[in-house]
């Protein structure tokens, strides 16, 4: 019987070395990281919602679901930011 799936290639390549172009510095504080994450998530939520306006049917539902998931992540990051730096 012939084998339907070929064997994977042998791993003879160099280990993956990520680019340092978008590296976050190790000394970055938690509050700054959370603030930037919150802003990025807010932007992603707006982009997904705007994109959904051009879609119909299941694609629109999918885009709106993505927007909702991003919004929930934004709420979680905002709550974490409140814990790290309470604004009383």
**Structural domain includes residue 10:** no
**Structural domain includes residue 20:** no
Residue 16 clears pLDDT 80, i.e. is over it: no
**Structural domain includes residue 9:** no
Largest CA distance in the chain: 72
The helix (H) or strand (E) run that includes residue 61 is helix 57-84
Q: Calculate the average pLDDT of the chain.
A: 86
**Structural domain includes residue 44:** yes
**Structural domain includes residue 53:** yes
Q: Averaged over 33-44, what is the pLDDT? A: 92
**Structural domain includes residue 4:** no
Domain ranges, residue 49: 30-84
**Structural domain includes residue 52:** yes
20 — pLDDT class (breaks 50, 70, 90): confident
**Structural domain includes residue 1:** no
Percentage of the chain with pLDDT > 70? 94
Domain count along the chain: 1
Please report the pLDDT score of residue 56 as a whole number.
Answer: 92
């Amino acid at each position: 019987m012939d084998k339907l799936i070929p064997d994977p290639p042998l791993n003879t390549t160099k280990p993956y070395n990520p680019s340092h172009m978008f590296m976050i510095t190790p000394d970055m504080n938690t509050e700054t990281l959370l603030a930037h994450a919150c802003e990025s998530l807010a932007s992603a939520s707006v982009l997904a919602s705007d994109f959904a306006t051009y879609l119909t049917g299941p694609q629109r539902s999918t885009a709106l679901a993505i927007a909702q998931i991003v919004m929930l992540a934004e709420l979680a990051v905002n709550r974490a930011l409140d814990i790290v730096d309470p604004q009383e």
